Amino acid sequence: FYMDTHPKKEVVKKKNLITVGFAQVGAESDWRTANSISIKKTFSESKGYDLLFEDARQMQDNQIKSIRKFIQQDVDYIVLAPVIEEGFETVLEEASRAKIPVIVIDRKVSVPDNNLYTTWIGSDFYLQGKKACECLNKYIIQKGMKDVNIVNIQGTLGSTSQIGRSNALNEACDKYGWNLVAQEPGDYTQAKSKEVMKNILKKTKDIDFVYCENDNEAFGAIEAIKEAGLSVGENGGIKIISFDATKGGLKRTLSGEILFDVECNPLQGPEVENVIKMLEEGKTPNKEYYVKEQVFVHDSILTDVLVDGNKYDLLTVTDDYIS
């Protein structure tokens, strides 16, 4: 009989690790940094993974190139944090043809066929916006404020987080009669938002609130307001609403520069790993997973808020949140 003198060539994965290609948005905000740390901590070599991390510097073309690279490297899984919703259909079809499961995290992709990705894990950004606006409405009523002027510094236009948070504000302005005196993208960065706020202040200083769509935008707006010689916070200052509840954001909520900071939970690593473990075991994960998150307020100005019939308790920021 014929001895097989050539042992079958095993296609051995790199050191038997599960290879995960991660196409991250960039490093535009503290939230994004925390999000990247969560993924890197979860998919460590000591836990049996080989993580290929790509930073797109907030440009969609770079994300598409990264996904094509992952397909060529024949990774086991692709994780995508899409910078904007539109424009990923073609490259997701390529991943699908290569039979590489794609897990979308944080923001969403808008594709005609949801089978182009296995699962999405993230936040309900529209709910986050509604929570912020209901807090704002309760505060305005409590303070007996009339003829309220609001500035909106938006996130990256076309991202799910910007769409949800801006829509909630636009609807609340119509519903409660607030004046939206300016609405411009600050692209989730501190530098751009400081510049946008400076330009708005050149046109008007009669502003009650600035609704920033993440903490880094709030930091930039606060800088611009102070450099214009105006004050920030209660007692006659311009009051800030923000999202993410990063350490920097909570510090400013404790001091009162930020009135409400709606948490956006960046720690999605463990949820992504749960989905990959299910896929490894041949199980079918859910199509969507929502991460848990709260609303933080300054100095117990409010204790709870009602959104779509659901009551949400608010957390007053104290020192131990900042430690």
In terms of CB distance, is 107 or 194 closer to ligand GZL? 107
- The contact mask relative to ligand GZL for 19-58 (x = CB under 6 A, - = no) is ---------xx-xx--------------------------
Q: How far is the CB of 29 from ligand GZL (least distance, A)?
A: 3
Pairing of strands 119-122, 49-55: unpaired
Site for ligand GZL in 98-127 (CB under 6 A): 106-107, 123
Q: How far is the CB of 158 from ligand GZL (least distance, A)?
A: 12
CA distance 146 to 155: 27
CA distance 180 to 148: 9
Contacts of residue 3, defined as CB under 8 A and 6 or more positions apart, other chains included, come to none
Q: How far is the CB of 213 from ligand GZL (least distance, A)?
A: 7
Q: How far is the CB of 316 from ligand GZL (least distance, A)?
A: 22
- # residues contacting ligand GZL (CB under 6 A): 14
Contacts of residue 48, defined as CB under 8 A and 6 or more positions apart, other chains included, come to 16, 17, 18
Match 């505060």 to its residue by tokens: 139
Which of 36, 214, 242, 253 touches ligand GZL by CB under 6 A?
214
115: DSSP letter: G
Site for ligand GZL in 215-254 (CB under 6 A): 243-244
Task: Please give the backbone phi and psi of residue 202, each rounded to the nearest 5 degrees, phi first.
Answer: -70, -30
In terms of CB distance, is 31 or 178 closer to ligand GZL? 31
Query: Residue 248 is encoded by which pair of tokens?
Result: 């920097």
Match 């308790």 to its residue by tokens: 313
Q: Describe the crossing of helices 190-203 and 215-227 by its angle, rounded to 10 degrees.
A: 40
> Contact between 76 and ligand GZL (CB under 6 A)?
no
Q: How far is the CB of 266 from ligand GZL (least distance, A)?
A: 7
| CB neighbour burial string for 56-81, b if at least 16 within 10 angstroms, e if fewer | bebebebbbebbeebbeeebbbbbbb
In terms of CB distance, is 75 or 248 closer to ligand GZL? 248
In terms of CB distance, is 108 or 138 closer to ligand GZL? 108
DSSP result, 133-178? HHHHHHHHHHTT--S-EEEEEE-STTSHHHHHHHHHHHHHHHHHT-
In terms of CB distance, is 125 or 148 closer to ligand GZL? 125
In terms of CB distance, is 158 or 237 closer to ligand GZL? 158
Q: How far is the CB of 320 from ligand GZL (least distance, A)?
A: 23
Query: Residue 308 is encoded by which pair of tokens?
Result: 């779509």
CA atoms within 13 A on the CB side of 227: 13
Site for ligand GZL in 151-190 (CB under 6 A): 159, 161, 188
CA distance 251 to 229: 22
Nearest to 292 by CA among 320, 321, 318, 312: 312
In terms of CB distance, is 21 or 164 closer to ligand GZL? 164
Residues within the interface to ligand GZL (CB under 6 A):
28-29, 31-32, 106-107, 123, 159, 161, 188, 214, 243-244, 264
